Amino acid sequence: MTTTADAPSVPRSAAGNPIGFGRMPRKEDARFLRGQGHYVDDVRMPGMLESAILRSPYAHARIRSIDTTAAAALPGVHAVITGQTLAGLNLAWMPTLSADVQAVLATDKVRFQHQEVAYVVADTEYIARDALELIEVDYEPLPAVVDAKRALDPDAPVIRDDVDGRTDNHIFDWEAGDAAETARVFDAAEVVVTQEMLYPRVHPAPMETCGTVAHMDPVTGKLTVYSTNQAPHAHRTIYALVAGIPEHKIRIISPDIGGGFGNKVGIYPGYVLAVVGSIVTGRPVKWMEDRSENLMATSFARDYHMTGSIASTRDGKITGLKVDVLADHGAFNGTAQPTKFPAGFFHIFTGSYDLQAAHCKVSGVYTNKAPGGVAYACSFRITEAVYLVERMVDLLARELDMDPAQLRLKNLLRPEQFPYTSKTGWEYDSGEYPRALKLAMQIAGYDELRKEQAEKRARGELMGIGISFFTEGVGAGPKKHMDILGLGMADGCELRVHPTGTAQLRLSVQSQGQGHETTYAQIVAQELGLPPEDVEVIHGDTDNTPFGLGTYGSRSTPVSGAAAAIVAQRIRTKARIVAAAALEVSADDLEWQITAAGGRWQVKGDPEQGKTIAEIAMLSHGTLELPEGVEGHLDASVVYDPPNLTYPFGAYICVTDVDPGTGQVKVRRFIAVDDCGPRINPMIVEGQVHGGLADGIGMALMQLIAFDADGNCVGGSFMDYLLPTALECPSYELGETVTPSPHHPLGLKGVGESATVGSPPAVVNSVLDAIAPFGVRHADMPLTPANVWMAMQGTPMRTDLAVT
Ligand code: MCN
Ligand code: CUN
């Protein structure tokens, strides 16, 4: 793996950490590596009860009756709750983040396999699960629709007949770009290539499943909720709006989170049920889902059936792109995404290319599957968009008999075109695309790889080289395009420097493994010259942190990272005034220096005279007479409303070998050049990229949630839903270019989802390049040995429908 060394000039703290940006071990690892993390399932409250959910065995069935008598009589059971109980509290349905509703417990029908039907609160989870078996539900099975392409057929059963007057399974139509202009460009095109492709349904499968402990204190009326969630403040507001509990009487605590990947953005029925359970019993109630519940009932990602067409000149200048998408949202439109558009950032489907016209149309449909979020390192539909355009460019290269790297270099946006307004109206902030691709080609030794491939092909060996280039728009914020249920996307941030010069930074974003406790301390360290170990990062507790909408869409660094920088800069400015008063000089005579002793305001031309931030902190809290209008203490707060998204990008190259006899794919090399602007902590960024590359390899080759014709989910355990391990992943070769964002105070762009977005097309392009001698144009993910082998025989599989 290639690495980036810290700049030698970065001063270091006594503990050896860089005072500012640079490689430093993660502060949180001291507890994680010792097994001392504190997760929701570790929460034990006095008198706490446990619970379990009864789920539907059918994908579609009418509920005739539910008999809970035997379950309620089981010793140790405290409450059995059904949809009818909830209906009495007006809580049988809850709003989703896409302005749809979702059943908390089914009342009329079940609409996907494993939907929530009843809830038991008992002394222990074991008793609760025993009680589930005593609940008798009389179901009338109904035909299920699991094939999105059949969901709009006139004879398809209507899934959402809870909505008066609904006669079909259509959710929305949405389009972007200029249809007329695109048609004109296609009419004039010398070459047009069209391909249908599926980005299959996948699941984020975090190590820790979802869960919650809810306690409604009957005396104070305060609801405390411990939950595995990526957006505690948004959850608090939604609980207040939905349950009618005053917001100041709700405290959401997200302790350590064992991976989110988008799975922990939304509110699941189990969370609401734990709250209801606590209200009903007057005791704290815990609900933790098991692995199968997590895989089968919480938010999925993708499930996009896409037909792309790309137009170009004979010599390879891309002129137009159009795409028609059928989006499978499952039984409830639970899409968790902050854009005001139903298809989120699919806008970015023109990718990184300079073209004349583009148009896309997305139609959403209901099916009898679990509600699809857009979770799983999705950047809210950028993932599907990048996959589409990168497959289309490869197909065009094939059609034109051009090298796919050269075709990309010919069409990538050029540095002088930035800021660039895309054909769908988004302003890409900065980019130097050809530089990144050329660096990836150089690390890969691209020309030699092509020679090796030609030699191997001559011997009948199958080797593939796949490229992808991606641009993401991350940092959900700009008001024009975004909100969540009417809430704006600005992030609050507070910084307190204590009298002795250590500090606490309070953030609204919520780490799930991204290392925020380290990188945000490093931002403050850089701006204030404090050792990063002296800056404690506090997050995940709505009573103790300012409002903000949480961590997803790689928005933390673009939004809260900017807030942290600005709040520290405000303190530095105030510190200058205090230092000037203490030194009896004018503030203009002071200059800022970061020394081994930390950040210091010192007299220009007389560096002996100065005050460190720690000294200034004591003075600010002490007896020093502060100038007129300057308050004591060294605290500040800020609310940062980002003017635009940030647009990180990258160039990936994947080398695969395919076994001609079995279709087995081996990823031999993976080269990833990422540009997320300056890197706060290069080690953490590389860790994010490593994780994302493994994700991408898994999705491209192994991961799949498929359904049989009756709507049974075939992917409900790790025996069926295969996650990549070290065995499937090569030792990654990373590179870096740095193109700062012009509007972020530190030039930073997000990176948390980059590799998950960018890698699947590189792997797929590589495998399809390997088996090109068989005349295969396209095969859908996952490229399992069976699927690859079938493609080599000329019949690639329809991967989303399981044959049982
Ligand atoms: N960083 C940096 N320099 C940059 C950009 C980022 O050092 N120029 C650091 C950040 O400070 C942060 C980390 O990299 O410590 C990721 O930052 P960012 O890109 O801002 O992403 P978020 O913190 O908002 O994390 C969200 C993102 C998403 S949306 C998913 S999904 C995902 C991902 O992060 N889920 C993850 N990475 C994950 N990593 C882990 N371990 N677990 C998850 O659940
Ligand atoms: Cu959409 S997966 Mo991440 O944005 O939490």
Reading phi first (left if > 0) and then psi (alpha if -120 to 50, else beta), residue 114 is in left
Distance CA 644, CA 708 (A): 43
Question: Which residues have C-beta atoms less than 6 Å from ligand 2?
Answer: 230, 260-262, 265, 374-378, 380, 552-553, 753
Whether 789 and 663 have beta carbons less than 8 Å apart is answered as yes
Please count the other Cβ atoms lying within 10 Å of the Cβ belonging to residue 425.
11
Return the SS3 of 540.
coil
The pLDDT tens digits for 653-700 are 999 999 999 999 999 999 999 999 999 999 999 999 999 999 999 999
Q: Is the pLDDT of residue 197 over 80?
A: yes
Kindly indicate the confidence band of residue 1, based on its pLDDT and cuts at 50, 70 and 90. Answer: very low
Q: What is the tens place of the pLDDT at every residue in 344-362?
A: 999 999 999 999 999 999 9
pTM: 0.97
Instruction: Say whether 612 sits in a helix, a strand or coil.
Output: strand
Question: Cα 638 to chain center, whole Å?
Answer: 25
What average pLDDT score do residues 429-443 get? 98
Calculate ∠ Cα 303-304-310, nearest 5°.
155
Contact 4, 679 (CB under 8 A): yes
Compute the distance between CA of residue 493 and CA of residue 497 in angstroms, rounded to an integer.
13
Give pLDDT, residue 10: 81
Under 8 Å CB-to-CB from 230, ≥6 apart: which residues?
Answer: 254, 257, 260, 262, 264, 265, 510, 512, 550, 551, 552
Model confidence at 8, pLDDT cuts 50, 70, 90, reads low
Question: What mean pLDDT is reported for the chain?
Answer: 96
- Residues touching ligand 1 (Cβ under 6 Å) are 206, 259-262, 377, 512-516, 519, 551-557, 676-677, 679-681, 684-685, 688, 691, 748-753
- Using one digit for the tens of pLDDT, what is the confidence trace for 31-87? 999 999 999 999 999 999 999 999 999 999 999 999 999 999 999 999 999 999 999
Alpha-carbon span 649 to 116, nearest angstrom: 40
Question: Which of 339, 345, 378 is the pocket-test mutation for ligand 2 (most atoms within 8 Å of CB)?
Answer: 378
Above 70 in pLDDT, residue 455?
Answer: yes
**Structure confidence by residue, pLDDT tens digits, 277-296:** 999 999 999 999 999 999 99
DSSP-derived letter for residue 454 is H
Which domains, from first to last, does the chain contain? 29-37+490-640 (3.30.365.10), 40-142+209-257+264-297 (3.90.1170.50), 304-477+644-793 (3.30.365.10)
Sheet holding 598-603, edge to edge: 590-595, 598-603, 606-612
CA 448 centroid distance within chain:
36
Quote the CA–CA distance of 401 and 395 in Å, as a whole number: 10
Contacts of residue 427, Cβ cutoff 8 Å, sequence gap at least 6: 419, 420, 421, 644
Dihedral sign computed on CA atoms, order 309, 314, 316, 318: negative
H or E segment to which residue 462 belongs: strand 462-471
**Index of the ligand 1 atom closest to the CA of residue 558:** 20
pLDDT at position 478, please?
Answer: 86
Q: Give CA separation, 593 vs 9, 574, 598, in Å.
A: 13, 15, 8
Beta strands in 19-111 (DSSP E): 49-55, 61-67, 77-82, 93-95, 101-103, 109-110
Ligand 2 atom closest to the Cα of residue 377 is 2
Q: What is the CA(416)–ligand 2 centre distance, in A?
A: 31
pLDDT of residue 597: 83
Name residue 327's amino acid.
A
DSSP summary character for residue 780 = P
Report how far ligand 2's centroid is from the alpha carbon of 263 (Å).
Answer: 7
The ligand 2 atom at the shortest distance from the C-alpha of residue 378 is 1
Terminus-to-terminus CA distance in the chain, angstroms? 43
- Smallest CA separation from ligand 1 atom 36, residue: 261
H/E element holding 786? helix 785-792
Lookup: tokens for 619: 């003075």
Residue 470 has pLDDT above 50, yes or no: yes
Cα(82) to centroid of ligand 2, in Å?
32
Contact by Cβ (8 Å): 553, 474: yes
Please report, rounded to a whole number, the percentage of residues in the chain having pLDDT higher than 70: 99
CA atoms of 750 and 73, how far apart (whole Å): 53
Distance between CA atoms of residues 764 and 622, nearest Å: 64
Run of H or E including 294: helix 291-297
| Nearest ligand 2 atom to alpha carbon 260 | 5
Q: Which atom of ligand 2 is nearest to the CA of 555?
A: 4
Residue whose CA is at the smallest distance from ligand 1 atom 11 = 519
Sheet containing 77-82: give its strands across.
77-82, 116-122, 49-55, 285-288, 211-216, 223-227, 250-253
Residue type, 182: T
| pLDDT tens-digit map of 760-785 | 999 999 999 999 999 999 999 999 99
Q: What is the DSSP string of 339-396?
A: BSSTTGGGGGGGTTB--SEEEEEEEEE--SSPPB---SS-TTTHHHHHHHHHHHHHHH
Q: By the 8 A CB rule, do 120 and 49 touch?
A: no
Sign of the alpha-carbon torsion through 124, 130, 133, 135: negative
Q: Using an 8 Å Cβ cutoff, are 43 and 93 in contact?
A: no
Biggest alpha carbon distance in the chain? 86
Sequence-ordered list of residues with C-beta below 8 angstroms from that of 608, at least 6 positions apart, any chain: 602
- What whole-number distance in Å separates Cα of residue 246 and Cα of residue 244? 6
Token digits of residue 217:
């204190």
Q: How many CA atoms lie within 13 A of 317 on its CB side?
A: 9
Two tokens, residue 783? 């490229």
Q: Is residue 5 very low, low, confident or very high in pLDDT (cuts 50, 70, 90)? A: low
- Per-residue CA distances from 318 to 185, 186, 230, 314 (Å): 10, 11, 40, 9
Question: What's the CA-to-centroid distance between 375 and ligand 2, angstroms?
Answer: 5
Quote the CA–CA distance of 114 and 748 in Å, as a whole number: 42
Query: How confident is the model at residue 488, as a pLDDT?
Result: 85
- Read off the pLDDT of residues 151-185 as tens digits, 9 standing for 90 and up: 999 999 999 999 989 999 999 999 999 999 999 99
Mean pLDDT to the nearest integer, 598-624: 95
The confidence band for 487, taking pLDDT boundaries of 50, 70 and 90, is: confident
- For residue 362, is it left (φ>0), alpha (ψ between -120 and 50) or beta? beta
The yes-or-no verdict on residue 566 having pLDDT over 90 is yes
The ligand with the least distance to the CA atom of 744 is: 1
φ/ψ of 576, rounded to 5, equals -65, -40
User: 385 near 393, Cβ under 8 Å?
Assistant: no
At 380, the pLDDT band (50, 70, 90 cuts) reads: confident
Half-sphere exposure of 491 (CA within 13 A, CB side): 32
3-state SS, residue 722: coil
Q: How confident is the model at residue 99 (pLDDT cuts 50, 70, 90)?
A: confident
Residue type, 471: T
How far, in Å, from the CA of 523 to the mean position of ligand 1? Answer: 15
**Where are the extended beta strands (E) located within 549-622?**
590-595, 598-603, 606-612
Tell me the per-residue pLDDT of 303-349, one tens digit each, with 9 for 90 and over: 999 999 999 999 999 999 999 999 999 999 988 888 888 899 999 99
